[in-house]
Amino acid sequence: MTFDALGNLFEADDGSNNIYKFKPDGTRTTFASGLNDPGLVAFDSAGNLFVSDQFSGSIFKFTPGGTKSTFASGLARPIGLAFDSSGNRFEADRDSGTIFKFTGGVKSTFASGLNMPEDVAVQPIFGQLLNISTRMEVLTGSSVLIAGFIITGSSNNTVLVRALGPTLSQFGLTGVLADPTLELHDSTGALITSNDNWRDTQQAAISPTGLAPPNNLESAILHTLAPGKYTAVVRGKNNTTGLGLVDAYDIDKSPLTKLTNISTRGFVDTGQNVMIGGLISGNGITQVIVRALGPTLLRFGVTNVLADPMLELHDGNGTLIASNDNWADT
């Protein structure tokens, strides 16, 4: 049995040759039928369901809509099934004593000489944040745009940090930051590097990522960072002000290291100048907690704090998912 991303349970039923789908409330429907002794089932990161069909010697693929196709055939009683974090599929082929690995549909032998292998367990697919961003009014002094982020894991991670201003005009926004500058600091506050116009320093390295700022006056820094805490500071050149955006992209997308947090401090205004934070989640399910702080900043000597922040969470279409005023209420 296995669960999809929505919490539905899928069960391969040998006796009936069906795959049943159970909703979180226990309601059962038939997802697929007419199989020949289905064994284990597993989802890939795109939501496709794979079924090892033991006596037909095939592995079937079902799209989220239920469309069936043959992914592999000619096996000797496939029974175990799992995906690793890179999307490779592993199959325990019971009667041949072999574990096969499928990469993009190409089969190779991962292990052989076993005595009726039945199940496989590999590194699961965990979601991770691929991009984090904040848009808000960039002022001067203590009200510049200050974004902190955290790299976790056991290896270095290459991150692209950008500061956008003129590009926001393309989305109907007015009063944008005409010429943003960007600084990258480590956890001690020491300056790692800075940039004014992205093409001046790292154009050859940034362009191949496909994430170069659209406007030449905007800033970007591509840097490989060790696990730890970092801060990006966005200012207007020559103390100019306006609406700006800071974002960070996980370039490596490695399961060994992750971009796990962004905490942005700045001036929260009204209308188009409220604080807007965005995030993009990659493969798998990513559980996040989103917070809006104001009074807490007084502990750190910050003045003119937001007395009573409110928070809304929207999906990619702008639909409201949830909202909160005081966290203890809900």
Q: Residue 133 belongs to a domain with what CATH number?
A: 2.60.120.380
Nearest in space to 130 (alpha carbons), one of 249, 308, 255, 4: 249
Contacts for 101 with CB less than 8 Å, ≥ 6 apart: 88, 89, 90, 91, 107, 108, 109, 110
Q: In angstroms, rounded to a whole number, what is the distance separating the alpha carbons of residues 166 and 40?
A: 53
User: Which positions of the chain have pLDDT values less than 70?
Assistant: 1, 4-7, 45-46, 85-87, 116-128, 255, 282-285
| Residue 256 Cα distances to 70, 101, 126, angstroms | 33, 21, 11
pLDDT of residue 42: 78
Q: Is the pTM of this model over 0.75?
A: no
pLDDT of residue 121: 55
Do 100 and 164 fall within a single domain?
no
Question: What does the DSSP 8-state code read for residue 192?
Answer: E
Q: What is the pLDDT of residue 235?
A: 96
295 assigned to some structural domain:
yes
Determine, yes or no, domain membership for 119: no
How is residue 289 written in tokens? 């907690």
Which residues span the domain enclosing 328? 289-330
Residue 117 included in any domain? no
Q: Domain check: are 148 and 261 in the same one?
A: yes
Q: Facing residues of 311 across strands?
A: 324
Q: Residue 86: what pLDDT?
A: 63
Query: Is 18 found in the same domain as 157?
Result: no
Q: Is position 170 within any domain? A: yes
- Specify if 144 maps to a domain: yes
- HEC-encoded secondary structure of 2-57: EECCCCCEEEEECCCCEEEEECCCCCEEEEECCCCCEEEEEECCCCCEEEEECCCC
Do 169 and 215 share a domain, yes or no? yes
DSSP state of 308: S
Each residue of 82-95: pLDDT tens digit? Answer: 777 666 778 778 77
164 in the same domain as 283? yes
Domain count, the chain: 3
Q: What is the pLDDT of residue 152?
A: 85
66 in any annotated domain: yes
Token pair in block for residue 252 = 């490596």
Q: 143 and 166 share a domain? A: yes
Q: What DSSP state is assigned to residue 205?
A: H
Same domain, residue pair 104 and 140: no
277/162 same-domain check = yes
Does 90 lie in the same domain as 150? no
Per-residue tokens: 57: 């010697």
Q: Which residues pair with 161 in a beta bridge?
A: 221, 248
Q: How confident is the model at residue 85, as a pLDDT?
A: 60
Residue 123 belongs to a domain: no
How much of the chain is helix, strand and coil, in % rounded to 5?
10, 45, 45
CA distances from 168 to 131, 135, 164, 180, 233 (A): 17, 9, 7, 12, 18
**Pair 22, 92 in one domain:** yes
* Residue-level pLDDT at 223: 96
CB 38 within 8 A of CB 62: no
- How far apart CA 230 and CA 223 sit, in angstroms, is 12
Asked if residue 49 and residue 82 are part of one domain, the reply reads yes
Question: Residue 66 has what pLDDT?
Answer: 79
- What per-residue confidence (pLDDT) applies to 45? 62
85 domain residue, yes or no: yes
